Chain A
């Protein structure tokens, strides 16, 4: 992987991370029409296309801002594959019948598929982690939010009115609880196959 050359389209990824409105607009102007057409040809409408594109860009943003995301293929191919995957998942969720897909755009190249797969996996995990975090008790949620926002455990302890040792232990137990919730969910095993 590290041997591969970064594609010029990395500018779109960087632009998203920097919340650059020009770049976001350019992505919509250049790459959205193809996705919209695809979704419309496959049982969807313009509103659904809008949601799929927006969700996909948020997933890319999250991945690129948390981890490094290095584009080694054209953005076009990567983005289209991601939107397509998301749309197929959406179709599967809403209809039980077999979906027929008009396949007229195919991308060659392992890179795009591999990168899209990784981003997709990241997005699924992110959603699972968020879902499980929300299942934690209020005390844990508050403590974890404080811990990661304030940074200094001493200050966290002070703001919550507990001792430093207690706050630190509690933090590990809360992440421990979250670890269990995540590992027990059926979805986690699917993602870690």
Chain B
């Protein structure tokens, strides 16, 4: 294949050919099938590359989100399936995990931890006199710190009330508690970038989520975006100081 043909393909796609060159090119396309086929592949590849590189960041985000949701779903499935029988090597593994937890706890002493800064109060989602079943379940479960149950209820509630920022916020907190960080961060980031009354609260908790994930730099960056007049500002500053 002539190198010049590829230069021609590119110029044609970039609309950089003169009127006569363009006509000659199109005539060749309609009379030379091999030329046309090559051009079609070239065009397809050009579109593929353009999309792949432009969409790289979004695509990575999607895959991470997908992976997190997928493993959550399959874990849940297996958990409900059968009781667990331990084999000897699993005891060894359990022992090393226990050791690891010990080490982690020890490490925690040197860093501020999530639990010290998460100080949400009991919530009240139901309007007096209106005891909506599912809302009540969510509220009770959350207040009793039964987060697994709260999560199920929030999820269900949000299916019919997708844009409810209060539900989104508490589902976000619930997911931090459950260590479902992908879901927590996604919800809280949505609120942080939005304009609801939960905007700064969500920003603060997004930072706490990062703290719990030990992404200290990310936590600081997020905390810095909390404005001076916000209720959470003082706490945020305190945490930044500890983290620095």
Contact = CB atoms under 8 A, between A and B. Distances in A.
A112 interface: no
Contacts of A29: 73
Interface in A60-83: 61-62, 65-66
A160 B42 CA distance: 24
Contact of A61 (B59, B182, B186): B59
A175 B46 contact: yes
A61 B67 CA distance: 14
Nearest to A181: B45
Interface stretch (B3-11, B130-138, B234-242): B3-11
A2 to B, nearest CB: 21
A158 interface: no
Nearest to A177: B6
Nearest to A26: B159
Contacts of B51: 65-66
B43 to A, nearest CB: 9
Contacts of A16: 62
A168 B73 contact: no
Contacts of A180: 1
Given A21-B69, A54-B67, A65 B74 contact: no
Measured as residues with beta carbon below 8 angstroms from the partner, the interface class of chain B is: 35 or more
Contacts of B46: 175
Which 8 residue pairs of A and B lie closest in terms of their CB atoms, listed nearest first? A176-B6, A172-B10, A148-B53, A66-B51, A28-B73, A172-B6, A19-B62, A21-B186
Interface of A: 16, 19, 21-22, 24-26, 28-29, 32, 36, 46, 50, 53-54, 57-58, 61-62, 65-66, 125-126, 129-130, 133, 144-145, 148-149, 168-169, 171-173, 175-176, 178-180, 182-183
Nearest to B48: A129
B69 to A, nearest CB: 5
Contacts of B37: 183
Interface of A is mostly: helix
B1 to A, nearest CB: 7
Contacts of B63: 58
A176 B8 CA distance: 11
Contacts of A126: 48
B70 A53 contact: yes
B47 interface: yes
Contacts of A171: 10
B6 A24 contact: no
A179 B6 contact: yes
Given A61-B59, A175-B45, A54 B158 contact: no
A21 B53 contact: no
B31 interface: no
B50 A148 contact: yes
Interface in B27-72: 37-38, 41-42, 44-56, 58-59, 61-63, 65-67, 69-71
B38 A183 contact: yes
Contacts of A183: 37-38, 41
